[in-house]
């Protein structure tokens, strides 16, 4: 006779986190040459981290709902450090790629890659969107 407290605990099976990868070379070339359409773009210049995070999440959700395949996220390269600045250069340039790998973004983002010079170079990112799940 088994004791009710002796039941083995069944752990729920969690889905593995969806990976965020880079674009392949051919996709990046097609975007740079204009052969692949950039469906939407957002410019995060001049926003605080919290404003930029909220704006980016909302933008990506709308883009996915509208069926966008590729979007451009403009972070900027970072302003010059001067007397009135906080001393940090390019905080959004550093933070946005990290945000795009967070769980709340993984259902939206398939791939991330630095943009071509024609689209902002180091101050912008190509984002390949995941298809919306029904």
The stretch 98-123 carries a mean pLDDT of 89
Which residues on adjacent β-strands are paired with residue 113? 126
Q: State phi, psi for 124 to the nearest 5 degrees.
A: -150, 160
Residue, of 121 and 109, whose pLDDT is higher: 109
Question: For residue 85, is pLDDT > 60?
Answer: no
- The structural domains of the chain, with segments of one domain joined by +, span 52-78+89-111+118-134
**Residue 132 pLDDT:** 81
**Residue 47 pLDDT:** 92
Q: Please tell us whether the domain made up of 52-78+89-111+118-134 is placed in CATH 3.30.1370.110.
A: yes
The stretch 99-103 carries a mean pLDDT of 91
Kindly report the average pLDDT of the chain as a whole number.
82
Query: Which parts of the chain are beta strand (E)?
Result: 40-43, 70-74, 109-114, 124-129
> Which span out of 8-17, 70-79, 91-100 was modeled with the highest average pLDDT?
91-100
Question: For residue 79, is pLDDT > 80?
Answer: no
What letters, b where the CB count within 10 A reaches 16 and e where it falls short, cover 10-38? eeeeeeeeeebeebeeebbeebeeeebeb
Note the pLDDT tens digit of each residue in 13-65.
Answer: 445 556 667 778 888 888 888 888 999 999 998 899 999 999 999 999 999 99
Angle formed at CA 85 by CA 83 and CA 91, multiple of 5 degrees: 150
Angle formed at CA 94 by CA 71 and CA 79, multiple of 5 degrees: 95
8 Å CB contact between 44 and 125: no
């Amino acid at each position: 006779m088994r004791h009710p407290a002796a039941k083995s605990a069944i752990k729920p099976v969690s889905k593995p986190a969806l990976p965020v990868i880079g674009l392949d070379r051919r996709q990046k070339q097609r975007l740079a040459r204009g052969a692949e359409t950039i469906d939407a773009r957002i410019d995060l210049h001049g926003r605080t981290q919290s404003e930029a995070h909220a704006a980016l999440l909302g933008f990506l959700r709308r883009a996915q709902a509208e069926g966008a395949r590729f979007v451009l996220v403009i972070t900027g390269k970072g302003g010059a450090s001067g007397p009135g600045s906080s001393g940090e250069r390019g905080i959004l340039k550093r933070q946005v790629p990290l945000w795009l790998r967070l769980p709340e973004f993984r259902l939206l983002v398939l791939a991330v890659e630095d943009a071509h010079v024609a689209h902002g170079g180091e101050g912008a990112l190509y984002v390949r969107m995941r298809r919306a799940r029904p």
